[in-house]
Structure 1
Amino acid sequence: MASAARPIRNYLPGLLVLAGGLYTVYYYYMYWLRVYGALCIPGYGDPIKVEVTRGIWIRLDAILFPTVFGVILTLLGVMLIWKKKFGVAVVALVLSATVINWPAFILIASGALLGLLFWRKTLLPVIDLPDTTMEWLNEETGAPVRKSFRRLPAERPVYSFRNGDGVNFAVKESSSAQAAERELKALTAAADREIPAPVVKAIDGRFLLMSQLDGFPFLQPLDFEAWIDEIAGILSNTHSARIPEIPACRRVAEPVIPGWAFDRANWEQAARIFREEAADATSVFIHGDFEPANVLFRDGRVTGVTGWTQAGSGPAQLDVGRMRVALELIHGGNVADRFLGTYKKLSKNRGFEYSRYWDLLAVYGWLEQDPGDIASHWRRFGITTLSEDEVMRRLERFVKSMTDKE
């Protein structure tokens, strides 16, 4: 029964509005033909005034108005069939009064009212959270405003919202309760070190309730120098903070030759270099997934860093390399090289050394994802020119630049 009712809810409002619009066009078209046929069109080109019924006269050019709106309502009917929109149903209801004939008015008004009834819930965002989690949020925040929920672009479900007092929050669903507990420790360590990261308010299984940071990911700057300075600066500050007791969670990647590789000899040479030039580094407080989508900006300045799932103690070069490969893919080698140079200049660790080993390690880390997934990840942030083929081409070009240094 429910499956049979759903198509009715989906299509009946649009079909009624469409029928009303088509009837309006047909009604006035036939009316026009009847009157002009009776008059044989005397005085062609002049406004014609005819008696519709005893004592009631009408100018024929006046019926153009409801005819045009009949066409508009026909298009709105098609739109309602294609896209079930509450707002379009409101427009159709308002315009139903313009058709000036009862059958069409009844059809259009009925369809629009049914649309308002069936789709009233579309005024609220779709929130893909369990009812128990919503009850927990209600207890912790004091009645969250459902209309304020907004899904943020992230790998895992993350929603921003505000409560009745206007305080902004974010709720994140981790992959597991253990992952949520680990991120809680990382965020607590960041907060203790005054790093601009979300502050955890409460935890419930795999769900984290956090303060919402101001700003948004900004991947297409006009001033690359200022943008890079901000990114390198926040990373340098993170690395200079006190080292936490938890180790970074990022798994050390191994050399791989991707199945899509065009120049396998180049990748084989890179694997050899990677094994021969393996380097050690001192541990600092690292982010673990430092890439442009996790850095928030407001008015050209960094306001915070998100995505601390893999944070902990580890080599600073892991963060630098991951950002360098990301910048290489998104904006090219000049931007990636500038980031490395700026970080070295700002780093408080004067013993910091960086070699191509770390670049290759970062490449192998990114290759844990398919090129298509990498491209779609940044597409959510406005990078629409980076296709799957382009990711493969740029990764291979970057690896080639490493092997050509011999």
Structure 2
Amino acid sequence: MTSMARPIRDYLPGLLVLAGGLYTVYYYYMYWLRVYGALCIPGYGDPIKVEVTQGIWIRLDAILFPTVFGVILTLLGVMLIWKKKFGAAVVAFVLSATVINWPAFILIAGGALLGLLFWRKNLLPTIDLPDKTMEWVDAEVGLSVLKSFRRLPSEGLAYSFRNENGEHFVVKETVSEQAAKREMNALTVAADRDLPAPEAKAAEGRFLLMAQMEGYPFLQPLDFEAWTDEIAGILTTTHTARMPEAKALRRAAEPVIPGWAIDRAIWERAAQIFREEMAGAVPAFVHGSFEPANVLFRDGRVTGLTGWGQAGSGPAQLDVGRMRVALELIHGGNVADRFLGTYKNLSKDRSFKYSRYWDLLAVYGWLEQDPGSIASHWRRFGITTLSEDEVMRRLERFVKTLIDKE
């Protein structure tokens, strides 16, 4: 029954309005055909009159009004099938009186009323947070405005909202209570070092509450050079901050050969190089999950970083490598190389060295997710050309370019 209820709720209101609009157009077209045969035209240009029941005379052009609205309601019915909008259902209900025939009026008004009933929840956003969490949010930052809740493009539950004082916040769900506390501590440490991180407010269970920063993830720039320069600049700022005591949650350091590998020989050679060329590095304050979806932009400039759950002390190359692989997948090697070159030029650490070992380590880190998850992750931010198969192909191609650097 549930499987049938969804199509009915989605399509029945629009279909009824569409049927009423089409019937109106058909009704008045047939009416015109009927009276056309009985027309008496005394002279060119004279008003055309048609006799109807009980001796009433009307002008033939009077049917133009309901016919036009029949066309409008037909189009509105198509729109309701395509877009389930509460406001459009209100418009359809109001216009139902303009068709001036009972069958169409019943169809249109009935469809519009069903739309009002089925889609009334669209007046408020759907908020999937537990009631207990909503009460906690209100207790921490003041009564929240329900209409302001907006789902953020995140793998877990994450909403932006404002309270009655107009202050903007974000509440997000992490993987565990421990992860929420860790990210809150990382945000506190980052704020203490004047890094562009959200201000942590509180943590409760798996949920973390923080102030909302200006800007949004921006993954499709027109000027790639300026874009990568901004990303490299914010990373060098992070890496030059005073190191925290907590260590970063490092990615798995063991090479893997993915089950979907097209050419296993490439991955076997990469694993050999990874073991042979293992490199050390001077620790820094690392973000731990540095990739384009966690970098906020406004007016072409970076405004902050999100996703600090992995942050801590560790090799700066961890952040550089993770971003390089992400850029390789999304925009290609030229953009990834540009980012690395800019980072090296801006870095104040003259001991910084980067080798293919760090690229391979980053690849293995990304392989903790399956290719489909990687593609869908960036699809939330407008990258629609990166399919699961394309992720596989680009990852293997990137690894091949690394092993070819003999």
Are the counterparts in 2 of residues 47 and 61 from structure 1 also a CA contact under 8 Å? Answer: no
Task: Compare 252-261 and 194-203 and name the one that shifted more.
Answer: 252-261
Task: Report the 3-state secondary structure (helix = DSSP H, G, I; strand = E; otherwise coil) of the residue aligned with 2:237.
Answer: helix
Are the counterparts in 1 of residues 183 and 310 from structure 2 also a CA contact under 8 Å? Answer: yes
Shift of 1:348: 1.6
In 2, Cα distance between equivalents of 1:147 and 1:254: 47
The residue aligned with 1:386 is 386
C-alpha distance after superposition, 1:334-357 (max 9, x if no partner): 111111111111112111111110
C-alpha distance after superposition, 1:245-265 (max 9, x if no partner): 111113323211222222222
Shift of 1:59: 2.6
In 1, Cα distance between equivalents of 2:42 and 2:249: 88
Residue identity opposite 1:337 in structure 2: D
Shift of 1:82: 5.9
C-alpha distance after superposition, 1:210-234 (max 9, x if no partner): 0001001111112222211111111
Instruction: After TM superposition, list the pairs within 5 Å mapping 1:232-251 onto structure 2.
Output: 232-251=232-251
The residue aligned with 1:403 is 403
Are the counterparts in 2 of residues 21 and 108 from structure 1 also a CA contact under 8 Å? Answer: yes
CA 1:54–1:289: 2 relative to 1, 3 Å: same
Are the counterparts in 1 of residues 372 and 388 from structure 2 also a CA contact under 8 Å? Answer: yes
Shift of 1:304: 0.4
Residue identity opposite 2:144 in structure 1: P
C-alpha distance after superposition, 1:60-104 (max 9, x if no partner): 233133123223324434554565420220120232232123453
In 2, Cα distance between equivalents of 1:348 and 1:259: 41
* RMSD, aligned α-carbons: 2.6
CA 1:382–1:28: 2 relative to 1, 3 Å: same
Residue identity opposite 1:179 in structure 2: A
The residue aligned with 1:301 is 301
Shift of 1:170: 0.4
The residue aligned with 1:139 is 139
In 1, Cα distance between equivalents of 2:397 and 2:178: 38
Are the counterparts in 1 of residues 39 and 49 from structure 2 also a CA contact under 8 Å? Answer: no
Residue identity opposite 1:154 in structure 2: S
The residue aligned with 1:168 is 168
In 2, Cα distance between equivalents of 1:133 and 1:248: 28
The residue aligned with 2:318 is 318
Task: Report the 3-state secondary structure (helix = DSSP H, G, I; strand = E; otherwise coil) of the residue aligned with 1:352.
Answer: coil
In 1, Cα distance between equivalents of 2:200 and 2:133: 16
Task: Report the 3-state secondary structure (helix = DSSP H, G, I; strand = E; otherwise coil) of the residue aligned with 2:296.
Answer: strand
C-alpha distance after superposition, 1:378-401 (max 9, x if no partner): 111111222222222221221111
CA 1:71–1:355: 2 relative to 1, 3 Å: same
In 1, Cα distance between equivalents of 2:398 and 2:3: 53
Shift of 1:367: 1.4
Are the counterparts in 2 of residues 287 and 311 from structure 1 also a CA contact under 8 Å? Answer: yes
The residue aligned with 1:73 is 73
Residue identity opposite 1:329 in structure 2: L
Shift of 1:288: 0.6
Instruction: After TM superposition, list the pairs within 5 Å mapping 1:335-374 onto structure 2.
Output: 335-374=335-374
Task: Compare 40-49 and 300-309 and name the one that shifted more.
Answer: 40-49
Task: Compare 34-43 and 155-164 and name the one that shifted more.
Answer: 34-43
Identity, % of aligned positions: 82
The residue aligned with 1:158 is 158
Task: Compare 61-70 and 104-113 and name the one that shifted more.
Answer: 104-113
In 1, Cα distance between equivalents of 2:3 and 2:376: 34
Shift of 1:50: 1.7
Instruction: After TM superposition, list the pairs within 5 Å mapping 1:267-278 onto structure 2.
Output: 267-278=267-278
Are the counterparts in 1 of residues 69 and 98 from structure 2 also a CA contact under 8 Å? Answer: yes
TM-score (norm 2): 0.92
Structure 1, unaligned runs of 5 or more? none
CA 1:9–1:166: 2 relative to 1, 3 Å: same
Instruction: After TM superposition, list the pairs within 5 Å mapping 1:189-200 onto structure 2.
Output: 189-200=189-200
In 2, Cα distance between equivalents of 1:375 and 1:115: 35
Shift of 1:110: 4.3
Task: Report the 3-state secondary structure (helix = DSSP H, G, I; strand = E; otherwise coil) of the residue aligned with 1:38.
Answer: coil
Task: Report the 3-state secondary structure (helix = DSSP H, G, I; strand = E; otherwise coil) of the residue aligned with 2:288.
Answer: coil
TM-score (norm 1): 0.92
Task: Report the 3-state secondary structure (helix = DSSP H, G, I; strand = E; otherwise coil) of the residue aligned with 1:39.
Answer: coil
Structure 2, unaligned runs of 5 or more? none
CA 1:44–1:79: 2 relative to 1, 3 Å: farther
Instruction: After TM superposition, list the pairs within 5 Å mapping 1:2-41 onto structure 2.
Output: 13-14=13-14, 16-39=16-39
CA 1:273–1:16: 2 relative to 1, 3 Å: closer
Shift of 1:51: 2.9
The residue aligned with 1:223 is 223
